[in-house]
Structure 1
C-alpha cells in the first residue's frame, strides 16, 4: 500500500470520526459488566461503518442509494434512539442504580449500527470525492486503513470508558449523557442538512 495513501486515509478517518469516540465510550459505559457487550458494540460499530463505506464506494462509481436530500433525515435515527433512552431514564429516575434499566441495559448491535450509520451521513459526502479520485487501488487502500482504524477507535472508546475517573462519571451520568448526545447528534444532522426546512 502506498504510504501516502495510508497517511491520508488515517488523517481523513480521524477527522471524520472523532465524535464517535465519545459515543463509543458512552456505549461501552452502558454495557459495562454485561457479558458480550463489548463484542455487540464492536459488531454494531462495524456494521454501521460498513454501510457507510458501501454507500460511499457505490456513489464513487456513480451509483447512489440515498438521494442527497435524504441524507439529513438520517438524523432521525439517533434522535429517536436518544428520545427513547431519555424517556427510559426519566421513567426510572428514582430507581436504585442496580435495578434501573436505563443504567443496566446493554446497547444492542442494531442500535450501535444505527447511530454509527446516521452519524456517518456527513462522512459519505467527504469519502465519495476522495474515493472517486483515488482509483480502485487507492480506494481499497482507504477502506483497509479505515477498517483497521475502526478497531483502534473501538479499543479507544472502551479504554476511555474503563478509566476509573471517566468510568465513575459515566456510571453516574451516562444514562443521562447518552440520550443528550444522541439527541444532539440527531438535531445537528437535521439542522445542518436543512431537513424539514430547518
Structure 2
C-alpha cells in the first residue's frame, strides 16, 4: 500500500535531493514529517471514528502552486530562489525555525501531495485492529527511509543524476505547480 500511494514521491524526492540548497537530513526530516502527518490524521480517524474529508486536505494544493509561482517569478527576475528557503535566525523556537526551514517545505509538499493517501489510509485503519495498525505504521516508517534511500541513489547515479542536478531546481518549480493543480483537480 505504501508503494502504491507514494510512488510519485520518488520523483519529488529526487528533485529535492538534486537541489544543492537542500541537505539530505532536511529532506529526510521533511519527508518523515509530511508522511507521518498523513498517517497521524488517518490514525486519528480510527481512534475518533472521524473521517476527515479529503477535499479539506486537497485545498492545501494551493500552497505548492503559490511557492512554485513565487520561485518561478524570482528565477525569471534572476533572484536567488534559495533565499526563499533560508531559516530566519532571529526566531529562537524550534517550531518557528522549522516553519521557516527547508524541511518544512519538503514536509508541506509531501503532505499536500499525499492528501489522497488519507482516502486510502482511513478505511484501512478503520478496518484493522490496533495491533495491526501499529505494524502498518512501523512498515510505513521503514518505507519512508527506503524511499529516501532509493531517491538519493537515483540522483547520485551518473547517468540520471547529472541531469537532475543540473535542472532539478528549475524542474522543482514546475513540479510544485503541477502537484498543486493536480491536487486541486482531484478534489474538486
**Alignment-derived partner of residue 63 in structure 2:** 77
Match of 1:22 among 6, 11, 31: 11
Over 3 Å counting, the alpha-carbon distance change for 1:19 and 1:121 in structure 2 is same
Specify the SS of the correspondent of 2:48.
coil
Alpha-carbon distance, 1:172 to partner:
2.4
* Count of equivalent residues: 173
**8 Å Cα contact 2:58-2:115 kept in structure 1:** yes
Contact kept? 2:54, 2:118, Cα under 8 Å:
no
Q: What TM-score results when the alignment is normalised by the length of structure 2?
A: 0.84
Shift of 1:71: 2.1
Contact 1:44-1:109 within 8 A present in 2 as well:
yes
Q: Structure 1: state its 5+ residue gaps.
A: 1-11, 93-99
Distance 1:64 1:43 in 2: 28
- Deviation, 1:165, is 2.0
**Deviating more after overlay: 49-58 vs 100-109:** 100-109
1-structure distance, mates of 2:54, 2:162 = 41
Give the Å deviation of 1:80. 1.8
TM-score (norm 1): 0.80
Structure 2: distance between partners of 1:71 and 1:40: 23
1:113 maps to which of 107, 120, 123: 107
Q: Aligned match of 1:101 in 65, 68, 80?
A: 80
Residue of 165, 173, 179 corresponding to 1:179: 173
Deviation at 1:15, TM superposition (A): 0.4
Preserved CA contact (<8 Å) 1:55 1:64: no
RMSD, aligned CA: 2.1
Question: Do the aligned residues in 2 keep the contact of 1:55 with 1:65 (CA within 8 Å)?
Answer: no
